[in-house]
Structures are given as C-alpha cells and as structure tokens.
C-alpha cells in the first residue's frame, strides 16, 4: 500500500496496532494546523485495507491473534459512514480475530452525521475511545480557530456518544484564547469536560507552526499569544476545575513545558503542585519556549 502523508496518532496509542483507513482531514482548515495541508482527504478502498491486512498476516502470522486493539489512521476516519466503518471492522476481525477495541480520531461533525442507531451499531462492533479535538470550551475562540464546530456542538455530540456507550478521550489545547483570556478559557473548558465526562484528557500547547494562518495572524498582530506562564496558569485553573475522579489526565506532549500525568482521583493534587512550582519558581524565559516552535 502507498500511503500519502505522515501518520499521526495520539501518543497514548504508541503500542497499538495502526491500520491506515483514510488520508488527510475532511476539514483541513483549522488556523493552527498544518499537519495535512498538502494531503487531500481520501478514503482507502476496502481492497487496499484488505491488501494491507493480508501483508500483516503474512509477516506476523500467529502474532496477529494477540492483537486486541486497533487504531484507525487518519485525521478523522470517523467521517466514514457507519456502514463503511462496519465493512472495515469486519475485515479487521477476519485478519485480527481477537480485536476488541477499534479507536480513531473523530471530529464533532463526524459524530453529528451519524444516527443514534449508527452509534449503537458501531459500539457493538467495538468502536471505543474516540479521540476528539475539543480544544477549548469557548465558542468564539473555536470560531476564531476555524475549528468548524462550537463547544456547544461538542457537548451535544459527546453526550450522544456517552448514551451509545462509546467512550471518548478529549484533546484540549492551552493558549487558544490568546493573551489575557487563559483563565476564562480554563473555566469554560473544565465546565464542558465535567459535563461530557471523558475517559482521558490530553493536553497540548498551541503553537504557531510555520505556514499556518495563526502564524500569519501573530505576525500581523491580529492574535496576541499568551505567554508560557499564562498557559501554565490556564492549565492549573483547568485541572483544578475538573471533577472527573476516574479520568486520566495526560500532559506529556512535546509542546507542554511541564510534564505531568495521572488519574485525577489519585494524582490531581501532585499535578497541581507541580504546575504551581513552575509558575511561582521557574524563570519565565526558561519555560517560554513553545509558542514559536516551527514544527513538531
Ligand atoms: S486540527 Fe484536526 S481537524 Fe483541524 S485541520 Fe488539523 S487535523 Fe483537521
């Protein structure tokens, strides 16, 4: 199989079997993102997927029976209709018969395009732990980022996932609201997350990658980025506001200046303390390094 573009997957899926299913992103116009700029969205055909799985079977033989979790590659493979996803899941189970969980990135509008019955069928087939780019809880900020959906849309669609029994892992980004609005953003994001009850929260820090619209906005003075200290204050306020004891909080992204992770029930206070130590004691010039990073 020839695959166009870089394969991105959530860091917490580092040990999961990756199966290419789509290329590119259906939206491809968030102002901060350049991951799929030159890659048009394409659904790989069933025969391409089967060919890949046959190759895997040939190389790994009986090891395929050990695989229980499969990550579908692409920016938003959940854009495929439920029927198309189910066709691909049937193939996965033919070649990897002990697969229990199928996970992937999903945009809020991918969920909206499916009926409750579709979601239930997908859940019964093993779809779980969808990764959702929530980014932040403020509608106007999401609009400025051209995310293509609002926080209210995310609330509505994640509650539908919960009702169907499909768990989700939410990606939140620090600094989206710019200078001076981090705490407001943190409170709105914590409120949203408490309502939609994710299994995991993954934090990263917004960065103006070269060639993005955000980079141009910053150069033109149209967007004032938050300092790294403000980002950490936002993260602390967000974390403090979370009431999700069983949720796993993960902030180990290369763009996160303070690396913390843990189950909130057990490690929330230690994580808050680590953020406070950095905010109060670390020289800002040492941590102020992420907002102009050119690439990942
Ligand atoms: S952030 Fe996600 S949804 Fe937005 S353009 Fe990039 S890949 Fe697509």
pLDDT at 121 over 80: yes
| Nearest Cα residue to atom 5 of ligand 1 | 28
In the chain, pLDDT over 70 holds for what percent of residues?
96
Q: Which residue has the higher pLDDT, 207 or 68?
A: 68
* Short-list 92, 110, 83, 12, CA closest to 52: 92
User: Is residue 295 predicted with pLDDT exceeding 50?
Assistant: no
Q: Does the pLDDT value for residue 77 go beyond 60?
A: yes
Alpha carbons 25 and 7: distance in angstroms, whole number: 12
Cα angle 54-16-9, degrees, rounded to a multiple of 5 = 105
Q: Tell whether pTM > 0.75.
A: yes
pLDDT at 291 > cutoff 50: no
Burial 73-89 (b: 16+ CB within 10 A, else e): bbbbbbbbebeebbebb
More confident residue, 294 or 246: 246
Does pLDDT of 290 surpass 70?
Answer: no
Domains 1-128 and 133-296 equal at CATH topology level: yes
Predicted pLDDT of residue 256: 87
- What does CATH list as the number for 1-128? 3.30.750.210
Per-residue pLDDT, 94: 96
Whole-number Å distance between alpha carbons of 21 and 18: 9
Closest ligand 1 atom to residue 33 Cα is: 6
Q: What is the pLDDT of residue 222?
A: 95
The confidence score (pLDDT) of residue 251 equals: 95
pLDDT in the model for residue 6: 86
Cβ-based neighbours of 89, under 8 Å, separated by 6 or more: 102, 125, 126, 127
Position 296 pLDDT exceeds 50: no
CATH class of 133-296: alpha beta
- pLDDT higher than 80, residue 128: yes
Q: What's the CA-to-centroid distance between 279 and ligand 1, angstroms?
A: 30
Least reliable range by pLDDT among 37-41, 45-49, 140-144, 283-287: 283-287
Atom of ligand 1 nearest to the CA of 26: 8
Summarised one tens digit per residue, pLDDT across range 147-169 is 999 999 999 999 999 999 999 99
Using pLDDT thresholds of 50, 70 and 90, give the confidence band for residue 289: low
Q: Is the CB of 27 under 6 A from ligand 1?
A: yes
Q: How far is CA 193 from CA 80, 186, 228, 229, 283, in A?
A: 26, 10, 23, 23, 31
Q: Mean pLDDT across the stretch 208-235?
A: 94
So what's the pLDDT on residue 288?
A: 64
Q: Is 145 in the pocket of ligand 1 (CB under 6 A)?
A: no
Residue 292: pLDDT band with limits 50, 70, 90: very low
Q: How many angstroms separate the CA atoms of 272 and 125, rounded?
A: 38
* DSSP bridge partners of 201: 170, 249
Sign of CA dihedral 234, 175, 232, 200: positive
Ligand 1: does its nearest atom lie under 6 Å from the Cβ of 75? yes
Q: How many residues does the chain have?
A: 296
- Mean pLDDT is highest, among 134-143, 219-228, 272-281, for 134-143
Residue nearest (by alpha carbon) to ligand 1 atom 2: 75
Residue with tokens 């892992």: 169
- Return the domain boundaries, the chain: 1-128, 133-296
Nearest alpha-carbon partner for 84 in 119, 28, 46, 136 = 46
Q: How far apart are CA 130 and CA 180, in angstroms?
A: 32
pLDDT score of 242 more than 80: yes
Ligand 1 atom index nearest CA of 75: 7
State yes or no: pLDDT of 282 exceeds 90. Answer: no
Mean pLDDT computed over 74-92: 98
Q: What's the average model confidence in pLDDT over 238-244? A: 98
Mean pLDDT for the chain overall: 94
Residue 139: its H or E element: helix 139-144
């Amino acid at each position: 199989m020839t695959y166009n573009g870089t394969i991105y997957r959530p860091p917490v899926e580092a040990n999961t079997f990756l199966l290419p299913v789509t290329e590119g992103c259906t939206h491809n116009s968030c102002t901060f993102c350049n991951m799929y700029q030159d890659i048009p969205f394409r659904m790989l055909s069933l025969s391409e997927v089967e060919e890949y799985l046959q190759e895997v079977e040939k190389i790994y033989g009986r090891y395929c029976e050990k695989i229980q979790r499969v990550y579908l590659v692409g920016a938003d493979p959940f854009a495929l209709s439920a029927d198309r996803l189910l066709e691909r899941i049937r193939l996965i189970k033919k070649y990897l018969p002990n697969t229990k969980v199928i996970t992937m990135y999903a945009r809020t509008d991918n969920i909206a395009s499916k009926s409750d019955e579709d979601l239930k069928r997908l859940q019964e087939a093993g779809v779980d732990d969808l990764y959702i780019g929530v980014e932040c809880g403020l509608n106007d900020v999401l609009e400025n980022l051209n995310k293509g959906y609002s926080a209210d849309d995310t609330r509505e669609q994640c509650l539908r996932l919960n009702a169907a029994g499909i768990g989700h892992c939410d990606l939140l980004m620090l600094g989206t609201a710019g200078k001076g609005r981090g705490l407001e953003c943190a409170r709105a994001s914590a409120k949203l997350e408490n309502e939609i009850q994710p299994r995991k929260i993954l934090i990263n820090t917004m960065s103006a990658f070269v060639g993005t619209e955000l980079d141009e906005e910053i150069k033109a003075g149209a967007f004032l980025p938050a300092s790294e200290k403000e980002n950490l204050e936002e993260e602390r306020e967000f974390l403090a506001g979370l009431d999700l004891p069983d949720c796993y909080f993960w902030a180990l992204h290369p763009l996160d200046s303070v690396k913390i992770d843990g189950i909130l029930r057990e490690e929330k206070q230690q994580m808050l303390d680590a953020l406070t130590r950095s905010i109060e004691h670390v020289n800002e010039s040492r941590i102020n390094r992420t907002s102009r990073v050119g690439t990942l």
